[in-house]
Structure 1
């Protein structure tokens, strides 16, 4: 017995699902979280030069790459939240890595500046990631309860 799979574009509720996520992305709270996530990612990328630990190449590269990844995710959330809402947990994961990176990469050998910068930036990324994921989850839960009626 063969199972036939349909493409998502053929799903009967695709237009209403996209409309619900588009409405969620228009909320000021989610737009604020997206903008702050973008700024957090950009700060993380330039933090080695701002804080002064640019001589620590491994941590500098880590912050640059994860900061740019966070900024790109924020752009994705802002431009196509209806298709990227499932990745709302990724900024929180980047935040966790940002917090532990000074110890994992260099044993916090550069002093307190990189540690404090990474811990604060990582905590902000975690909070913003959880907010983004929660917005998508609340929207999905509301649509499921509306469909049940």
Structure 2
């Protein structure tokens, strides 16, 4: 590995990714994403979704996926997994529309408000994570370093 022609570029890329993931902003986004995902997974029981088992299961699965996506993978491999942040945006949008798509006419105001608020927060956190990854890529390109 020490004789690899791109070893210096690879080390620089790894160091920049490490610095990006260790910024207070990135750590705050990661922590808030974890809390958002955990709340979304538990929200059917916290907010009291009554007789909406399909929406409860949907929120449980999407919440776990969201928590693992941003805080699990994104935080550990910041530069390589920035595209996962866009997937978290999609999960945020899905959370917003899921009461109508999954539950149909049986959605209550409580479930709709819960999912819209959590979905907007999830979408904004995903956008913040994507913007942070994009900023790091532009900064690196501005220094004449290759972007992957």
Do both share a fold (TM > 0.5)? yes
Deviations 1:26-78 (A, max 9, x none): 11011100100000000000000011115311101110000000111112222
Q: What is aligned with 1:113?
A: 110
1:106–1:136 Cα change, 3 Å: same
- In structure 2, C-alpha distance between the alignment counterparts of 1:23 and 1:108, rounded to whole Å: 48
- In structure 2, C-alpha distance between the alignment counterparts of 1:139 and 1:108, rounded to whole Å: 44
TM-score normalized by the length of structure 2: 0.88
- Output aligned runs, 1:92-103, within 5 Å: 92-103=89-100
For structure 1, the residue ranges without an aligned partner over 5 or more in a row are 1-9
Q: What is aligned with 2:24?
A: 28
Question: Is the Cα–Cα contact under 8 Å of residues 29 and 128 in structure 2 kept in the other structure?
Answer: yes
1:24–1:51 Cα change, 3 Å: same
Q: What is aligned with 1:77?
A: 74
1:95–1:62 Cα change, 3 Å: same
- In structure 1, C-alpha distance between the alignment counterparts of 2:63 and 2:50, rounded to whole Å: 14
1:82 offset after TM fit, Å? Answer: 3.2
Work out whether 1:142 is the aligned partner of 2:139: yes
Number of equivalences: 139
Deviations 1:77-118 (A, max 9, x none): 222223322211111110000000000011251310110000
For structure 2, the residue ranges without an aligned partner over 5 or more in a row are none
- In structure 1, C-alpha distance between the alignment counterparts of 2:137 and 2:20, rounded to whole Å: 10
TM-score normalized by the length of structure 1: 0.87
Q: Could you list the runs of 4 or more consecutive aligned residues of structure 1 that deviate by over 4 angstroms after TM superposition?
A: none
